[in-house]
Chain A
Amino acid sequence: MTTTTLRDAVALTDRPTRPSALGTTLTFGWRALLKIKHVPEQLFDVLVSPVIFTLMFTYLFGGALAGSTQAYVQFLLPGILVQTILFVTIYTGYTLNNDISKGVFDRFRSLPIWRPSPVVGALLGDTVRYTIASVITIALGLLLGFRPEGGLAGVVLGVLLLLVFAFALSWTFIILGLLVRSPNAVMGISMLVLMPLTFASNVFVDPATMPSGLRAFVEVNPVSHLVTAERSMMAGEPDSAAILWVLVASVVLTGVLGPIAMRIYRTKT
């Protein structure tokens, strides 16, 4: 390290102009992709859990619940897809919390950029995770005999709707990531919330046989509405009420939680 090279390296004649909000957001999206490249282990959960769940439920319960595994996988797969993606949203909060505890977060907050861009960019990067998880789950389903009547269009639109909801739901975990002390606590709390929400729903079984109290819960459970919407789209008979419900819920979640999250982000000590 010599004095002159240091001088030359630091000296700056042409100061850049301030980048656009889109530019900085995309840069943070690029960062999220780099993290997936350098830490591929973080995809392990994303890859393995849908495979295990799909295989386990199809073969353990398929015959008993629906008469055959073939029949059950038609019912189960859209539900498993929802469960998988919902669990992947936890990583948003986990990653953000990691940035805070590692001190990267303060570096970003000290930059002259559009303030939400680190968070929104991370959400963009998460799309890659959602897409990988969706592709794996659906591919496995097809292998096991899943034959969606809605065809390619139904499946793709179903996945898109799921992504919209996943982005909206992510704000919950961003808030959690900002408030909770450690990345592992984010994981723990999120699991505690998502486990009952996904199991006490219509993901695995038709709620018709459930006791009335539980059925009442399942019917108001947002996950059930989402699963109903997904099933209908993939079956080629879109349930417009359920789809509308998911879209409205997404808008409300984003409209309410987004500003709250950004407020906490700005005033975070």
Chain B
Amino acid sequence: MSDSLAVEARGLVKHFTSRKTVTKAVDGIDLSIGEGSVFGLLGPNGAGKTTVVRMLATLLRPDAGTASVLGHDVVHDADAVRSAVGLTGQYASVDEDLTGTENLIMLARLYGFTPAASRRRVQGLLEAFDLADAGSRQVKTYSGGMHRRIDLAASLVLAPRVLFLDEPTTGLDPRSRNQVWDIVRVLVDDGATVLLTTQYLDEADQLADRIAVVDHGRTIAEGTSSELKRSVGEGAVHLRVAEVTDRTRAAEITERVLGTEVTYDSDPHAIAARVPDDGADAVPRLLPALTDAGIAVPEFTLGQPSLDEVFLALTGQPLPDDEEPAPERDTRPRETSEVPR
């Protein structure tokens, strides 16, 4: 990660007016994304994530504020931004009537590749994205995962230095989601900068170096994943004793060692304790202390707080559940957009 900024935004604002009601889609967002890093914009539906990406990708003009990508202003130097950026998302798709190959060839030709160079480039991309066999089929016949991979390949035709991924795994099954994650990791290893929007906590946690939590068009917290987690405490110890009769004694020892209060689980074997802000050092002493007292502890886990808890602590409301089974077919919620058309 170098010191120079790939994406910089100051006070970005976008309001939409429809039927005399003003929606403050983006209401003053600042971003500083270092070159070669992955930045996650995390927030629920309607938080303004897509609007931020569309402004940075020159598709929307900000009402106020400035933004630049690799030093090029998104309003005054839009073409330079367009040459440097790859975009994938709910709003930048491929033509479903055309085949995968035709879509990529078309883009390669639009970027100025010669016909021969286009064919070579597209063949390589299709093979790398595991789509070589599907290349001659219309994109509308693709599964959700294949569709997302051709979208990604389409945004990489010009090997962009900055990649905007707008909810890249929404609606994908876990295997396809992992494939997308692997692709992103390889690209970042090779020096690309990625701005990722997501409503999935684990996605931001897995991929992003820094995360901004957005809600109602504003950044409500920003930092690394662990910084955000630390802002709501050091995590919690969960343990389970072998004998129910040992639970009270185990609780007493835990309270003494960690210097914190214990909560009793509905499971009669289990207790949990929040680790206090300065108590991280005490955690390793807890298990020996319990064993020395003759208490058998078959389960002992130290968990960092999840980003879900972070979001709850910051906004007072939980994030949408991200554990719903993902449909195999592509059912991306194009209609439930956060941008009124």
Contact = CB atoms under 8 A, between A and B. Distances in A.
Interface of A: 1, 3, 5-12, 14-19, 23-24, 27, 30-31, 34-35, 38-39, 99-104, 106-113, 181, 267, 269
B227 interface: no
B334 A10 contact: no
A101 B337 CA distance: 11
B92 A106 contact: yes
B59 interface: yes
Given A10-B190, A16-B112, A110-B59, A104 B93 contact: yes
Interface of B: 16, 54, 57-61, 79-80, 82-83, 85, 87, 89-99, 102, 106-107, 109-114, 117, 121, 124-125, 127-130, 138, 154, 156, 158-159, 179, 182-183, 186-187, 190, 334, 339-341
11 contacts: A1-B130, A5-B127, A5-B128, A7-B186, A7-B190, A11-B190, A12-B158, A102-B95, A109-B58, A267-B61, A269-B340
Contacts, number: 131
Nearest to B159: A12
A19 B159 contact: no
A110 B112 contact: no
Given A9-B125, A107-B92, A112-B82, 7 more contacts: A7-B190, A12-B158, A31-B106, A99-B95, A102-B95, A110-B92, A113-B110
B57 A110 contact: yes
Given A9-B125, A17-B112, A1 B179 contact: yes
Contacts of B179: 1
A121 B341 CA distance: 24
Given A6-B128, A6-B183, A35 B98 contact: yes
Contacts of A27: 106, 109-110
Contacts of A24: 109-110
Nearest to B93: A103
A16 B182 contact: no
Contact of A107 (B93, B98, B187): B93
